[in-house]
Amino acid sequence: MEEKEAILNYGSVSVRTQEGGELIFCLRGELDHHSVREIRDTIDRKLIDYRPLSVTLDLSEVSFTDSAGLGLILGRYTRISGYGGSMKLTGVSEGFMKILRLAGTDRLIPIEKKEKR
């Protein structure tokens, strides 16, 4: 699918829109209880504004996560599923995958390999 060049940067997260209304959130840096608040607020504002039916969280630039990152993902999944949308993950590191597997999240949320752009 051809992409519109609409990339907005908000500190630790950038938002890319694709034709068809899909939103791709690229998360950056460390995800812990301190840093996820800003990321969560940014994502949630966009979810309210656009109510996208398809959302991708790109985690390829996340350098660290603990259960706060897991909570961020589960919270967004619940919110997006709640209004009938779908969400998937991409660019998941081995370390992040270890946490997702531990919580069984890898069986709940589709995880795709990141395509090279």
Partner 1 sequence: MKKRMINEMKLTFASDSKNESFARGCVTAFSAQLDPDMEELADIRTAVSEAVTNSIIHGYRGGEGRITVHARLFDDRSIRIRVIDRGCGIENIEQAMQPLFTTDRSGERGGMGFAIMQSFSDRLDVSSRPGKGTTVTMQKKLK
Q: Which residues bind partner 1 (CB under 8 A)?
A: 30, 32-35, 40, 64-68, 70-72, 74-75, 78, 94-95, 98-99, 102-103
Using the 8-state DSSP alphabet, how is residue 107 labeled? Answer: G
Minimum distance between the CB of residue 105 and partner 1, rounded to whole angstroms? 8
Minimum distance between the CB of residue 22 and partner 1, rounded to whole angstroms? 24
Minimum distance between the CB of residue 93 and partner 1, rounded to whole angstroms? 9
Buried b vs exposed e over 25-42: b needs ≥16 C-beta within 10 Å?
bbbbeebeeebbeebbeb
List the Cα angle 69/79/67 in 5-degree steps.
15
Cβ-based nearer residue to partner 1, 19 or 41:
41
